Structures are given as C-alpha cells and as structure tokens.
Structure 1
C-alpha cells in the first residue's frame, strides 16, 4: 500500500487426519470442517463511504467515496486544516481477486477490501498496512448521498447544438452540465456562474463551437431535467472556472 497524497477475509481451513490404533492398509488425510470458522463476508460494494485517512508528513485526508451500481465512482478528498476546496476524481471501479480497484489518476490504482461495515485500503495482494494507522472508510447503510458537494475537478467541457457536457480527465463518460448559479444552497450563490455566462466564457476560449475546452472547475453534482424527454439526469453544475491552462494527464 502506498502513501496517500492528493493532486493533489482471510479464512483458515483446518486439516485433520483420520486413523485408529489398528494399522490399516490405506490411510489418508481428509479435510474436516471447522464449525467455528466464520463464513466469508459477501461484499456489497455499492454505497456511500467516508472517513479520515493518514498522510505521512501532511495533514490527514478527509475522504468521501460514492460507489455506484453502474460501475462509476466519485471520490472527494481534502487535506484537513489545509484545503478550502476538496479535490474530486470520477472514474470506473471494478473487482479483481476480491478487491475493489479504483483508478484515481495517479501512477497506481487504489485497492480496497470489504470489511462488512466499510472498506479498508490494502495493497494489490490484499495486505493491509502493518502500522497502527487507520486506513478504513465507514459505509453508511441506506445513505447513497446522490448530491455531491462542491469539489475541484479537471476535464473537458464541450458546447455543441445547445447542449453542454463535461468529461472528467481519465474517463470516457460525459455528464450533461450547466452553470451552477441556479443550483446552489442559500448563501453560496455569490461567484457562481449561470449557464449564459458559462456559454460566453467558452465562446471566448475556443476557435469554434464544438471544440473541447480543458478546464479545472469548481463544481457540484445533482439531478436535473433530462436532456431529452421527461425524467431526470445527473448533472455536473459548474460554479467557477478555476483554470483554463490545464491538461489531462496522459
């Protein structure tokens, strides 16, 4: 397991031998079942997790992780007493050898073991840290927390045929998006872009409509009206463009 920084059941089996005082022509070791052995925990990965993980030489990291049924995840991380805005990562998760694997855009993936009431960060072999540091996130039963609070996220914004979309770096997923002014809590409206302002900002920054615009944004995620037909879609709401001189890692 690696040191975390930002862009910031082992079940035993017992073997017993069968025999008697009288020698027999054939004897063999046969496995027996230990009725006291706890069964393996059935992993239920999807849900909302949070906790605080250690970071050597830096403040601890407050983490929130949304693991979705569609194999996507949203990770929100912030150094305690240091960052005013959390850093976000969006991507795909999958299970390999009983471990949940997520790619956070760094040189190595993160591996998590299911513990029943949460998950524990481990190495690729499923081994936890041998230190006394806490590397666990708690799962909150029945709390998926569909609304994702504000975070800093880098990706590619596109505006074409009156439709805005945002593709986070490292993914092939596009989210419909809009200015965040109309989707803020009371007291947060100051400084949030509206959709028209976002459109104008884009037009000033690209040579022609439809071109990708790679930016770092302050955004939140919540449900909004469907792009087509009735119903709702999940939107990425852009409150502020932090930088337009960024690139997505290769």
Structure 2
C-alpha cells in the first residue's frame, strides 16, 4: 500500500489486498473512450484508466462506428452505457475481462479523451 506521494506506508497493520472470486456487477455505467473495430474484433480504450478491453460483439456499435469513421481501424471517441463481464478469450483456455454494451451509444469523431 502506498501513501498519497507514492511512498510505501510504514505500519504494523496488514495492508495487503486479496483478490475475490465474486462475479462482476452487471449494473450499467457510463463509459468514455476510444473504440476501434477491425477484422471482426472490437476494442475499447477507457479514458479513465487508459486500459484497453475487448468489446462483446454488438451490431449497434459496429454500425455506429462505420457511420462515424471514414477509415477502418482508426479509433473513434465513444460514450455509452456498459458493464464488464468475464468471458473466454480468443486464446484457448484463457479468460478475459470484456466490456458489454448496454445502450445510449454516441460516437463523436471531434472528441477524444483529452477534450470530452
């Protein structure tokens, strides 16, 4: 555990975090980031964390991306409601956290994570 300046906390208390095996919540939340679709695979780079996640297949996202983007494979800013799900990876035997769209999809080529 680190303090606000990033230095380790000197304490006799146990600050170790343990992972839990509980399912991810399915409550939709507003997400903002860049969406890229290419070769039947979609990824979403979250503005808040900078982490890139695979996106569960969604025809509305594919169609919105096609309308908003002139050049396939280039990222487009996206705001939408979504939740996370743990799903099998494209690599056999692995699982991954994916973004599952829940609606209110809005693509905007004029925006980015730095100016939304």
TM-score (norm 1): 0.37
Counterpart of 2:90 (choices 227, 231, 250) is 227
Q: Which runs of 4+ in 1 moved over 6 A?
A: none
Once residues 104 and 56 of structure 2 are traced to their aligned partners in structure 1, the CA distance between those partners, rounded to angstroms, is: 12
Gaps of 5+ in 1: 1-10, 12-38, 48-141, 180-194
Once residues 96 and 70 of structure 2 are traced to their aligned partners in structure 1, the CA distance between those partners, rounded to angstroms, is: 30
Once residues 240 and 146 of structure 1 are traced to their aligned partners in structure 2, the CA distance between those partners, rounded to angstroms, is: 18
Query: How far off its partner does 1:205 sit?
Result: 0.8
Gaps of 5+ in 2: 1-9
Match of 1:97 in 2: none
Which has the higher Rg, Structure 1 or Structure 2? Answer: 1
Match of 1:248 in 2: 113
Equivalent runs, 1:1-250 vs 2, <5 Å: 40-46=12-18, 144-179=22-57, 195-245=58-108, 246-249=111-114
Instruction: Report which structure shows greater RCO (CA 8 Å, sep ≥6).
Output: 2
**Alpha-carbon contact 1:221-1:234 (below 8 Å) kept:** yes
Match of 1:107 in 2: none
Query: How far off its partner does 1:210 sit?
Result: 0.4
Query: How far off its partner does 1:144 sit?
Result: 4.1
Match of 1:19 in 2: none
Aligned residue pairs total 105
SS at match of 1:155: strand
TM-score (norm 2): 0.73
* CA shift digits 1:146-201 (9 cap, x unpaired): 3452111101110112111011014442111024xxxxxxxxxxxxxxx2222111
**Alpha-carbon contact 2:35-2:44 (below 8 Å) kept:** yes
**Alpha-carbon contact 1:219-1:238 (below 8 Å) kept:** yes
Residue 242 and residue 198 in structure 1: after superposition, are their counterparts in 2 closer, same or farther (change >3 A)? Answer: closer
